[in-house]
């Protein structure tokens, strides 16, 4: 049996942390599929028992679709010889670049202030009395090539998760012979 792309020693699948739900309002969407399934099946069959089965099926579909979305790699980095193959949703088209053309892997960090919801009995109205929280760092990973910079995610994510993946990616590339530009020997003439 062939190993999957994420199990190979020459391949690294970048699966960033999914942004957590910041608001309590989206939680209500977890209730919609089961209720919709229950209502549709109950109306069609005229049976509350089959409606319950439809509601459970709606809940299972919602759970399965969220789990499936969380497990997809954002980028796949594969080293073959002296070339780095980049593919996945992070790149508009698969790219192959020589390892020597990869100058640096770095964190693009930004400090933000998130809104905090005010506690209240109605989740839909918690945003009304929201306050600004303290400073928080968010980051995304950049691959600096000779003539362009590629980011592995469009949005900046948790600094802790990005920093962990940044270290994994640099370690993976170094194991395959990559040296950052600032550590390369200066050519003599």
Tokens of 173: 């590339």
Give me the helix-helix angle, 48-70 and 32-45, nearest 10°: 150
SS3 155: coil
Q: What is the rounded CA–CA span in Å between residue 53 and residue 51?
A: 5
Say which residues have a Cβ less than 8 Å from residue 58's Cβ, sequence separation at least 6: 33, 34, 35, 36, 37, 38
The more confident residue out of 97 and 17 is 97
For 111: left if phi > 0, alpha if psi spans -120 to 50, otherwise beta; the answer is beta
Tokens of 140: 């995304």
User: Which pLDDT tens digit goes with each residue over 57-76?
Assistant: 877 777 777 666 655 678 99
Mean pLDDT of the chain: 81
User: Torsions phi, psi of 154, nearest 5?
Assistant: -70, -45
pLDDT number for residue 36: 73
Report which listed range, 37-41, 111-115, 173-177, is most confident.
Answer: 173-177
pTM to 2 decimals? 0.65
């Amino acid at each position: 049996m062939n190993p999957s792309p994420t199990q190979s020693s020459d391949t690294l699948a970048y699966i960033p942390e999914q942004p957590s739900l910041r608001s309590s309002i989206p939680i209500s969407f977890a209730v919609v599929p089961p209720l919709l399934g229950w209502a549709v099946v109950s109306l069609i069959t005229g049976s509350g028992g089959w409606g319950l089965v439809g509601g459970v099926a709606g809940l299972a579909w919602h759970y399965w679709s969220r789990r499936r979305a969380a497990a997809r790699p954002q980028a796949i980095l594969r080293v073959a010889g002296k070339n780095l193959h980049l593919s996945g949703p992070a790149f508009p088209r698969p790219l192959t670049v020589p390892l020597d053309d990869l100058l640096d892997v770095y964190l693009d960090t930004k400090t933000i202030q998130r809104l905090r919801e005010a506690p209240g009995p109605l989740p839909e109205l918690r945003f009304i009395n929201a306050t600004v929280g303290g400073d928080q760092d968010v980051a995304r990973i950049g691959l600096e090539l000779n003539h362009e910079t590629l980011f592995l995610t469009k949005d900046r994510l948790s600094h802790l998760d990005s920093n962990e993946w940044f270290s994994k990616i640099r370690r993976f590339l170094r194991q395959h012979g990559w040296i950052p530009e600032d550590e390369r020997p200066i050519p003599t003439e």
